Amino acid sequence: MITLEDLRKVFPAPGGGDPVVALDGIDLHLDPGRIHGIVGRSGAGKSTLIRCLTGLEKPSSGKVQVDGTDVAALDGAALRAARRNIGMVFQHANLLDSRTAAQNIGHPLEIAGVPRAEREKRVAELVEIVGLSGREHNYPAQLSGGQVQRVGIARGLAAEPKVLLCDEPTSALDGATTAQILRLLQDLRERLGITVVIITHEMAVVREVCDTVTLLQDGRIAQTGDLVDVAADPHGPLSAELIPLPPAPTGLDAVIVNCDYGDSTRIRTSEDLSRLAERHGAEATLVAGTIETIGGRQVGRVQIALRNDSGRPISPEGLAAYLRELETAGVVAQEVSA
């Protein structure tokens, strides 16, 4: 549905000086009918990527194909037509205060010159689809945060797009409302077969609804793939983000090690880790752990404290040998300091 080929975007530095490379050779293919997450720190290039997808930003080079159309090559009327295939949802819906929910939803159709009767029919469908029945005549001030976002989503769907791009759709919502909006996005994907792209900094959102996830770092793709595969790969950067561990505890007279065993079948419990530690004259105690079941696979990371027979921190030699053995068993282990 979406194919990016060697996409680059370079901005001239606003005050002169070195140009800013916001996107640096992005190759990405996103399948239709799935929910794709794009994550990355602030400044990684997420917004620039979305703006290139909508044609708001022209790439410096490379291809941006949405549903078979090269968006980057279009201008004027052709670009406006292609844009109708792409719905947008933002963190803040920015509704028109003087219009009801229904009027806000119908606004893009009004601008596009859709006749009133047709517009009203479509708005009524949209109100039902996003679960706003009974609230359609409320003004924005009379809607909850979640309902406002439902209006924003309905408005994004008004022109029956094939792709819905969501930029931080739940970042301004509380936990329970976030869960409802994510359920709505899943429901839309199922009912309408729409392709959803969610830009987010919330890993919980990715774990909850995304089928695939792409991590952007400094304008490049650091990791991409199906959520299950990415979470189960202890060598990739996303595993630690998706299956987080707390910082090392203070006040323990021990060496603290974070172990990422992905969905390894050789190491999957703290007993496995203890057994290995005993061979190096050490005892491993579980300090913290995160185990998730993603797509039917159990993936996990644990934090252990290592001590020798006399209850003192394991020796550097013992630790090195233990870490080597874990590595052989496919576990990515790292000493962490408090």
For 257, residues 6+ apart whose C-beta sits below 8 A from its C-beta are: 303, 304, 306, 319, 323, 333, 334, 335, 336
CB of 170 to ligand ADP, least distance (A): 16
CA distance 309 to 283: 7
Count, residues near Mg ion per rule CB under 5 A? 1
How many residues in the chain? 338
> Does position 212 bind ligand ADP by CB under 6 A?
no
Restricting to residues 39-68, which ones interact with Mg ion according to CB under 5 A? 47
Q: Which segment (35-43, 74-82, 101-109, 110-118) binds ligand ADP by CB under 6 A? A: 35-43
Beta strands in the chain (DSSP E): 2-11, 20-30, 35-39, 61-66, 69-70, 86-89, 163-167, 195-199, 212-217, 220-226, 255-262, 282-294, 297-308, 332-336
Q: Which stretch binds ligand ADP (CB under 6 A): 41-49, 153-161, 246-254, 313-321?
A: 41-49
Packing angle of the helix pair 270-278, 316-328 (nearest 10 deg): 130
Q: Give whichever of 215 and 299 is closer to ligand ADP, judged by the CB atom.
A: 215
DSSP secondary structure letters along 54-96:
TTSS--SEEEEEETTEEGGG--HHHHHHHHTTEEEE-SS----
What does the block give as tokens for 242? 């998706």
| 262 touches ligand ADP by CB under 6 A | no
Query: Shortest gap between Cβ of 39 and ligand ADP (angstroms)?
Result: 9
Closest residue to Mg ion, based on beta-carbon distance: 47
Given ligand ADP, Mg ion, none, residue 44, with its beta carbon under 5 to 8 Å by kind, binds ligand ADP
Q: What are phi and psi of 230, to 5 degrees?
A: -65, -40
Nearer to ligand ADP, 20 or 73 (CB): 20
315 counts as binding Mg ion under rule CB under 5 A: no
Please report whether residue 91 would count as binding Mg ion according to CB under 5 A.
no
Q: How far is the CB of 7 from Mg ion (least distance, A)?
A: 16
Please identify which residue in 25, 43, 62, 249 interacts with ligand ADP, judged by CB under 6 A: 43
Binding mask 45-84 for ligand ADP (x = CB under 6 A): xxxx------------------------------------
Positive or negative, the Cα torsion across 294, 37, 159, 128? positive
Note the residues at the interface with Mg ion (CB under 5 A).
Answer: 47
